[in-house]
Structure 1
Amino acid sequence: MENRTKHLFLTGLCIAHLMAIAPSVFAADEPERNDLPLIEPDVKPVPVDQALIDTENFEIGAFAGVLNIEDFESSFVYGGKLTYHLSESFFFEAGVGFAEAGATSFENLAGNVQVLTDSERDYSYYNISLGYNILPGQAFLTENYGFNTNFYLIGGAGATDFGGDTRFTLNAGAGYQILLTDSLAIHLGVRQHYYQIDVVGAEKTSMNTEISTRLSVFF
Structure 2
Amino acid sequence: MENRTKHLFLKPLCLAAGLCAAAPGQAQEDRPLIEPDVTPVPVTEALIDTENFEIGAFVGVLNIEDFESSLLYGGKLTYHLSESFFFEAGVGFAEGGETSFEKLAGDVEVLTDSERDYSYYNINLGYNVLPGEAFLTENYAFNTNFYLIAGAGATEFAGDTRFTLNAGAGYQVLLTDSVSVHFGVRQHFYDIDVLGEEKTSVNTEVSTGLSVFF
TM-score of Structure 1 vs Structure 2, range by shorter chain: 0.7 to 0.9
Is 2:73 the partner of 1:78? yes
Query: Which has more radius of gyration?
Result: 1
- Look up the match of 1:113: 108
Give 1:98's match in structure 2, choosing from 69, 93, 105: 93
Letter in 2 for 1:74: S
User: What secondary structure, in the 3-state scheme, does the structure 2 residue paired with 1:75 have?
Assistant: strand
- Structure 1 residue runs of 4+, over 2 Å off? 51-54
For 2:157, the equivalent position in structure 1 comes to 162
For 2:90, the aligned partner's letter is G
1:177 aligns with 2:177: no
Matched, 1:143 2:133: no
Unaligned runs of 5+ in 1: 1-50
How many aligned positions are there?
A: 169
1:56 aligns with 2:30: no
Q: Give me the TM-score of the superposition, normalised by structure 2.
A: 0.78
**1:54 CA displacement:** 2.4
Task: Kindly provide the CA deviation profile for residues 146-199 of structure 1, in whole angstroms up to 9, marking residues without a partner as x.
Answer: 000000000000000000000000000000000000000000000100000001
Code of the residue aligned with 1:117 in structure 2: it is T
Who is 2:196 aligned against? 201
- Give distance in 1, aligned partners of 2:162 and 2:47: 39
Q: Which amino acid aligns with 2:54?
A: E
1:127 aligns with 2:131: no
Cα distance in 1 for partners of 2:196, 2:173 equals 43
SS in 1 for 2:163: strand
Superposed displacement of residue 201, structure 1: 1.2
Match of 2:187 in 1: 192
1:204–1:100 CA distance, 2 compared to 1 (3 A)? same
Q: Secondary structure at the match of 1:142?
A: coil
- 1:199 to 1:93, Cα distance in 2 relative to 1, 3 A: same
Structure 2: gaps spanning 5 or more residues: 1-45
How has the CA–CA distance of structure 1 residues 52 and 77 changed in structure 2, closer, same or farther, with 3 Å as cutoff?
Answer: farther
Q: What do you get for the CA RMSD once the two structures are aligned?
A: 1.2
Distance 1:135 1:74, change over 3 A: same
SS for the counterpart of 2:136 is strand
| Counterpart in the other structure of 1:15 | none
Distance 2:67 2:129 in 1: 34
Contact 1:52–1:181 (CA<8 Å) still a contact in 2? no
CA distance in 2, matches of 1:101, 1:63: 19
Q: Percent identity?
A: 84
Give the Cα–Cα distance (whole angstroms) in 2 for the partners of residues 115 and 68 of structure 1: 18
Map of 1:211 onto structure 2: 206
Between the aligned partners of 1:106 and 1:141, the Cα distance in structure 2 is 48
Task: Give the whole-Å Cα distance in 2 for the aligned partners of 1:213 and 1:81.
Answer: 12
Shift of 1:53: 6.2
